[in-house]
Amino acid sequence: MELLVLGVLILGKSQNSDIIGYMEHLIIANWKSNPINLKEANNIFSNYLKLGKKLKNKKIIACLPYLYLLLGEKLKSNKIFLGTQNIFPETNGSFTGEIKIDMLKNLNINYAIVGHSERRKLGDSNEYINKQISLILKNKITPIFCIGEQKRDHDGKYLSFVKEQIIKGLNDINKNYIKNIIFAYEPVWAIGSDAIREATKEEFIEMKIYIRKILSDLYGSKIASSVKIIYGGSVNSKNAKIFIDASADGLLIGRDSLNIKNFESILNSF
């Protein structure tokens, strides 16, 4: 009960700050390993630029495959920003096939996804993600730190799973940097073709409170209440507003970010 009460207080502070200040929702488009050619990528990105002219209280962060990051040279909007889907955490030495952060900085990169469930499945450990976050922050890029349980259980073990992801992912990160991290909650069991079901707004609210509680224990309530927590998990035009109304600071969108009609429907849904 004590944890829940403190969490509600922390969440309440965050909500109040949103009401008092200017609330701008983050719409993060994760293209993953798509599309298959530059022509299609250019078409999608050009449509993003058109959408950016109509955005109000929202900004798009387009996280593209390395191959298409040069499209960012077209950016002239303060509503659309460029992000990478991954960052190699080493800076010195030769690493065949890897992209170093200095190379990305020259491409107008402002954001970087780390800890995505698909990357974790490929072997990215909490310790590896911690090195990524540290390097990203030192280079003044904003990490989009993905966390989320693989399954839900009645014993609450999923809470410990998420807690471990956060604590190990933020190990030795200076508290002054925490407010610069975007936390993306993505329940793995609600994502993609293997999804068991969609997550509910109540489940997201629970996790947002819990994430702030963990951060409060680590860094204090002031810092905990300042971070942005977004939702990602098969987001579409039917459920986007549900999570925004459940106090999500934004959305992490996968498949529907590649379909301009669907993506625009999401943007117009709230």
Read off the CATH number of the domain in which 139 is found: 3.20.20.70
Of 112-116, 161-165, 197-201, which gets the smallest average pLDDT?
Answer: 197-201
Instruction: Kindly state the percentage of the chain with pLDDT values over 70.
Output: 92
The structure tokens listed for 8 are 């509600």
Question: Measured between alpha carbons, how far is residue 108 from residues 102, 116, 174, 225 in Å?
Answer: 11, 22, 25, 29
Q: pTM of this prediction?
A: 0.91
Query: Which residues neighbour 43 within 8 Å (Cβ) at sequence distance 6 or greater?
Result: none
Instruction: Kindly state the percentage of the chain with pLDDT values over 90.
Output: 82
- Bridge partner residues of 145 (DSSP): 114, 183
| Contact call for residues 235 and 251 (beta carbons, < 8 A) | yes
Query: What total of structural domains would you count in the chain?
Result: 1
Q: Is the pLDDT score of 14 beyond 70?
A: no
Q: Choosing from 25, 118, 149, 186, which is the catalytic residue? A: 186
Q: What is the pLDDT of residues 46-81, one digit of tens each?
A: 999 999 999 999 999 999 999 999 998 888 777 899
Active site residue 116: yes
Active site residue 264: no
Domain boundaries, position 80: 2-88+97-268
Q: Choosing from 2, 25, 116, 202, which is the catalytic residue? A: 116
